[in-house]
A and B are shown apart, each in its own frame.
Chain A
Amino acid sequence: MTLLYCKGIPISFMEIVGSIMLWNLKHDQFLCFAVDDGTNCILLLSLNDANSSSVACRHHHDHAMRFASLVKLDIVAIVKGRLSRFRGAVQVTMSNVVVERNPNAEIFHCLNCILLTHNYYNVFPGWGIDGVMGPVQVSGRRPWQQRE
């Protein structure tokens, strides 16, 4: 089920980079985080049932345990997952979590999201960042991306 559209393009999977604001592990039920990226705060959920007869559910449990060991309050994480809805609210079912230690990571992600919206979803035809950041490079390294 697709929940969101951007200019008619369906969106079902997302990546968010932000600060962990909430950490709630219920054994044999779920693990959830709330992630704040500065524009919104969204709930991320991983199902967690070690005793299920379903192989997929036990696999989800293994992932949830790994996520729980990685993440704690106050850190910044990159979380990927599928969009879903629960009681009317949009949430994300986690498929991967990575702890991010680069202090500029959120800035880069924010800029890349704006660029993605401009270049791919074409949300604002004619709106550009040339006046602020200079010409947008279609290929190669973006001006603000540091070389490792």
Chain B
Amino acid sequence: MASLEIKSGALVSLQDLRPSSPFFKQGASLRITGKLHEYSIETGLATIIDGDDILKVSTKHLRDLTFQVGSVYQFIGELLIQPDNEGVLQARVGRNVDGIDLNLYHQSLLLLRQFQTNHLNNPATM
């Protein structure tokens, strides 16, 4: 069996995807969660929001996913930074996560990042 080439999508919030952020890199594999603001069937582009932050998502690779404005979705894919420095996520996996507790989600993100930082600082413990 060939070695696994699928990258893990790093958990990020939409506010982590500003141009000044270390996550804002061409081709970065990311996992994002947000409420669907608008969706265009013609272009296959979805816009999701989380608070004041907005991100466009290309859905051309997705199958069997129904889009409903106002619902919460989670996408995993690669970030494509366009010439005008706007990021568009090329989603390869997506799902509806209505019912998710977004406050708890952000708290767990904070905890996980803190945990990973400590873990990386103590490699001898694993």
Q: Which of A7, A32, A111, A132 contacts B125 (CB 8 A)?
A: A7
A87 within 8 Å of B (CB atoms)? yes
| CB neighbours of A30 from chain B (8 A) | 1
Contact of A74 among B3, B6, B7, B93 (CB under 8 A): B93
**Nearest CB in chain A to that of B93: its residue:** A74
Q: Is A39 an interface residue (CB 8 A)?
A: yes
Given known contacts A19-B93, A107-B104, A110-B112, is B6 in contact with A36 (CB within 8 Å)?
Answer: yes
Instruction: Kindly identify, within residues 21 to 62 of chain B, every residue whose CB is under 8 Å from any CB belonging to chain A.
Output: 31, 62
Question: Are A133 and B107 closer than 8 Å at their CB atoms?
Answer: yes
CB pair B116 A39 closer than 8 Å: yes
Q: Do B112 and A114 touch (CB < 8 A)?
A: yes
A7 to B126 alpha-carbon distance, docked (Å): 6
A39 to B111, CA, bound (A): 13
Kindly state the separation between the CA atoms of A129 and B108 in the bound complex, as whole angstroms: 11
Assess A32 versus B1: contact at CB under 8 Å? Given A22-B6, A103-B99, A123-B122. Answer: yes
- Known contacts A21-B93, A32-B1, A107-B101; A132 and B110 CB within 8 A of each other: yes
- Chain B residue contacts of A32, Cβ below 8 A: 1
Which of A100-130 touch B at CB < 8 Å? 102-104, 107, 110-111, 114, 117, 123-124, 127, 129
The 8 A CB mask of B75-98 against A (1 = contact, 0 = none) is 010000000000000001111011
In the complex, what distance in Å separates the CA atom of A89 from the CA atom of B3?
A: 7
Contact with B along A122-145 (1 / 0, CB 8 A): 011001010011000000000010
B residues bordering A, Cβ < 8 Å? 1, 3-4, 6-11, 31, 62, 64-65, 72, 76, 92-95, 97-101, 104-105, 107-108, 110-112, 114-116, 118-119, 122, 125-126
Additional A-B contact list (11), CB under 8 Å, known A73-B93, A110-B111: A6-B126, A19-B93, A38-B9, A39-B11, A74-B93, A74-B94, A103-B72, A103-B100, A123-B119, A123-B122, A124-B125
Could you tell me which A residues sit within 8 Å of B by CB distance?
A: 4-7, 19, 21-22, 30, 32, 34, 36-43, 73-76, 86-87, 89, 102-104, 107, 110-111, 114, 117, 123-124, 127, 129, 132-133, 144
